[in-house]
Amino acid sequence: MSDFNFNQYNQFQHSQQQGQNLLAAGWRPLNRDFDWNYFLHLVQNDGDELNRRMMGAVSTITDSLGRSYQAWWSNVINLCSSYTRGELDQVWNYLTPEPPCPDHHYIDSLSVETPMRQVVSRSSIPIDYALNRLQETAIRKMLEILGRPDLITQNYLDRWFYFPPDRFDQWERLDVVSTVYAYWSSHDAWLQIDYVDRGRRYWTLMAKNMAPLIQKATYGLAVMLSGYQNRVGQIHAQFSTRDFPEEIQAFSDAVQQTVMTQDRLAVLVHGDPGTGKTAWTQAIAKEILVPLGYVIFILDHDAVENFVPPAYLERICLIINEADNLAQDRSTEIAQASNKTEHILSLLDGTLYQSVVSVGNFELEQKLVVLMTCNTTERLDPAMLRKGRVDLICEFQHRFV
């Protein structure tokens, strides 16, 4: 046997084994039903091809049954051979509509490769890893919200299989050897799972309107982007806004009122170390912004320089501590050595924030709240305090911690 034929034989054996594994894992062959409306559509729009296919099917059957040099029972066996059956299956697949598949024209879609792998190097802060973890978390939570799908199918070697929905348990336990499709009719949502390698899969969730699902899935989430300690979790606040002095409580009320009336808000609090600035931003985030559906991002020095707000989130809050060490006066030599000041300014005035278009092409009117702390405003770039960039400013004067 030549190497070419041997390789073909091995591939055939492997394919057969994979098909048997699918059946053993609970998948069932999906039979394609004849549809008169679809057949009439072919007659009207693809008559020549339909005639060619039908004549080919008749020729195949005639050739299988009309071999005079073989016994009649041998011709019947030949009709059931894999070659003849394959030829007839191609005609049947042409005559019948394909099983439902995702509509890739859906505007809203999120994709992620899972399980996540973190690549850490000395020259880069793994911001992408944290943002992908957030996206993976959102997709997983949306799948929990969607619950059991109405339809689960998989195409392998030109054969369609389906998995009985009542036997579905977990996505990780579902055998995926090529591409799996799942559909939820109540939300008009699709999930496409592509096999990558060694248990890795690529998930794509699609829907006509995914915003309500994303809001539910990301409720209460917070992302810390700080060096190599990036993580996705929930915001923690050690103190309440009512634990602060009365003037700070009044300022908190003003922040809350402004959040309700503006789509973009920048707040700057300054004061000596120990006056509770960082604790106040955490309290505002937990008590005011999280209940309104804001996803919280806590950015350190390196993250500020490389961060782009995810466009699929409708409401975003950025907490930037020690802003006087980031948005420094650009007339100084230190500030000229980096572009952190320009990046923060672009976040505040919306030039960067409004120009972001995600892979899923989400068309959302995003709301952005930026909470910044600093010890002194003297080192800040003058453009930071210009009207239209920072909306509310407050000085913390009382020792809090």
As a whole number of angstroms, the distance between CA 380 and CA 300 comes to 17
**176 occurs within a structural domain:** yes
Confidence of residue 97 (pLDDT cuts 50, 70, 90): confident
Is the domain of 71 the same as that of 203? no
Helices (H), 170-270: 211-217, 246-261
Q: If you ran DSSP here, which 8-state letter would residue 99 be given?
A: P
Q: What is the number of structural domains in the chain?
A: 3
Same domain, 346 and 197: no
Least confident of 24-38, 58-72, 218-232, 236-250: 58-72
Give the other-Cβ count within 10 Å of 330's Cβ.
15
The token pair at 361 is: 């092409």
Contacts of 158 (CB under 8 A, 6+ apart): 89, 93
Q: Is 246 helix (H, G, I), strand (E, B) or coil?
A: helix
Give residue 256's pLDDT band: very low, low, confident or very high (50, 70, 90): very high
Are residues 131 and 60 part of one domain? no
User: Between these two residues, 381 and 28, which has the higher pLDDT value?
Assistant: 28
- Please give the residue range of the domain that contains residue 127: 108-214
State which of 194, 214, 234 marks the end of a domain. 214
Looking at the structure, do residues 348 and 246 belong to the same domain, yes or no? yes
Considering the domain architecture, whether residues 147 and 26 belong to the same structural domain is answered as no
Q: Is residue 101 part of a domain?
A: no
Query: How far is CA 349 from each of CA 87, 151, 247, 355, 371, rounded to the nearest angstrom?
Result: 64, 46, 28, 11, 14
- Categorize the per-residue pLDDT at 227 as very low, low, confident or very high, splitting at 50, 70 and 90: low
* Whether residue 347 is found in the same domain as residue 252: yes
In a domain, 345, yes or no: yes
CATH code of the domain containing 389: 3.40.50.300
Assess whether 302 and 329 both reside in one domain: yes
| Residue 198 forms part of a structural domain | yes
Task: Judge if 387 and 263 occupy the same domain.
Answer: yes
Give me the pLDDT at residue 71, please: 64
Name the more confident of 347 and 232.
232
- Same domain for 251 and 131: no
Question: Which of 152, 187, 214 is a domain's end point?
Answer: 214
Q: 235 versus 5: which is more confidently predicted?
A: 235
Tell whether the model's pLDDT for residue 245 goes beyond 50.
yes
Residue 373 and residue 247 share a domain: yes
CA distances from 38 to 50, 86, 373 (A): 12, 22, 64
Tokens, residue 166:
């009542």
Classify residue 401: in a domain, yes or no.
Answer: no
Question: Within a domain: residue 100?
Answer: no
Tell me: do 347 and 380 sit in the same domain. yes
Per the model's pLDDT, the better-predicted residue between 4 and 177 turns out to be 177
Kindly state the percentage of the chain with pLDDT values over 90. Answer: 34
Q: Are residues 122 and 42 in the same domain?
A: no
Give residue for tokens 């296919």: 53
* 378 alpha-carbon distance from chain centroid: 42
* Structural domain ending residue among the three candidates 172, 187, 214: 214
Residue 12's pLDDT band, with cuts at 50, 70 and 90, is very low
Confidence of residue 324 (pLDDT cuts 50, 70, 90): confident
At 254 the three-state DSSP class reads helix
In a domain, residue 62? The reply is yes
Tokens of 40: 């009439």
Residue 363 lies in a domain: yes
Residue 8 in this model has a pLDDT that exceeds 60 = no
